[in-house]
Structure formats: structure tokens, C-alpha cells
């Protein structure tokens, strides 16, 4: 997958300029879970990029994989999984070998081969609990 290689331009090609993201929360640049509000347009696309950057900068050998995908009409449901070993403070504590998994289920509305709107649910609160137990 190109996203595994850090090509953020893929995000610009996948999402329309006035893309809408409905999400209960997301990661900030410090890997803290922030409660969400709907994001629209450039803010929604920037949040997608910020999340990808945060994961890449805070995990060693992180990879995305599509676990399940179902399409019907103009919607696609995807369960994707991100796996990686934490680095930075966690790595300095000698725990970088611990593999963490982030799972997301997302419903995307597609028009002309681009994503126009997403409803996303990620296991971020449970991930935060797991990180706090290091």
C-alpha cells in the first residue's frame, strides 16, 4: 500500500476538497486521544494527514492492512488495522518490542472514485489505556 510508505499525496487524491469526516475522536501530534467533532473540507483532510503523520512518527515499522471490506451502492465499509511498535518515551523504557494494534471500522461514501464523507470508529480509547499501562 502506498500509505504504508508515507505518501501523504494519496490522501489528497482519495478525498474530495469538501470531504466530511464524522469521528468520535482522533490522535493529536502527541498521540493523545482527542474527542472529536465533525470536520469538513481542509480541516478534515488535515486531520487525516495529521493522524497518518502521528502514527508514522510514534511507531516503528507501522503498517496498515485492510482486514475486511464490503461495498454496496455508494458506500464502502472497511475494517482496517494498523500495527506497530511504540517508540520515543516507550522505547526508552525498553518496551519497544510490544506490538500495538489500532483497529478502525469506517463507512465511506464514494462519488466518482473519491471519498466524499466518512463515518469512522477507532479503538483509540482502549489503545490509550494500553499505552498507559507501560
The average pLDDT across 7-13 equals 86
The pLDDT of residue 73: 97
Contact 83, 62 (CB under 8 A): yes
Tell me whether strands 114-122 and 15-22 are parallel, antiparallel or unpaired: parallel
pTM of the complete model beyond 0.75: no
- The answer, yes or no, to whether residue 134 has pLDDT greater than 60, is no
Question: Residue 128's domain is classified under what CATH number?
Answer: 3.10.450.50
Alpha-carbon span 55 to 118, nearest angstrom:
20
The tens digit of pLDDT for each residue in 37-74 reads 678 889 888 888 888 888 888 888 888 899 999 999 99
| More confident: 29 or 86 | 86
Whole domain around residue 20: which residue ranges?
A: 2-132
Q: What is the pLDDT of residues 91-123, one digit of tens each?
A: 445 554 577 888 999 999 999 999 999 998 888
Above 90 in pLDDT, residue 133?
A: no
As for how many domains the chain has, the answer is 1
Amino acid at each position: 500500500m502506498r500509505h504504508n510508505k508515507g505518501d501523504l499525496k494519496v490522501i489528497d487524491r482519495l478525498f474530495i476538497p469538501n470531504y466530511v469526516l464524522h469521528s468520535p475522536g482522533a490522535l493529536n501530534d502527541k498521540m493523545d486521544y482527542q474527542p472529536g467533532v465533525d470536520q469538513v473540507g481542509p480541516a478534515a483532510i488535515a486531520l487525516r494527514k495529521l493522524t497518518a503523520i502521528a502514527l508514522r512518527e510514534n511507531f516503528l515499522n507501522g503498517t496498515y492492512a485492510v482486514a475486511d471490506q464490503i461495498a454496496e451502492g455508494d458506500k464502502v465499509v472497511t475494517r482496517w488495522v494498523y500495527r506497530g511498535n511504540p517508540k520515543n518515551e516507550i522505547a526508552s523504557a525498553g518496551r519497544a518490542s510490544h506490538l500495538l494494534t489500532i483497529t478502525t471500522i469506517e463507512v465511506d461514501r464514494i462519488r466518482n472514485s473519491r471519498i466524499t464523507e466518512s463515518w469512522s470508529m477507532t479503538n483509540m480509547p482502549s489503545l490509550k489505556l494500553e499505552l498507559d499501562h507501560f
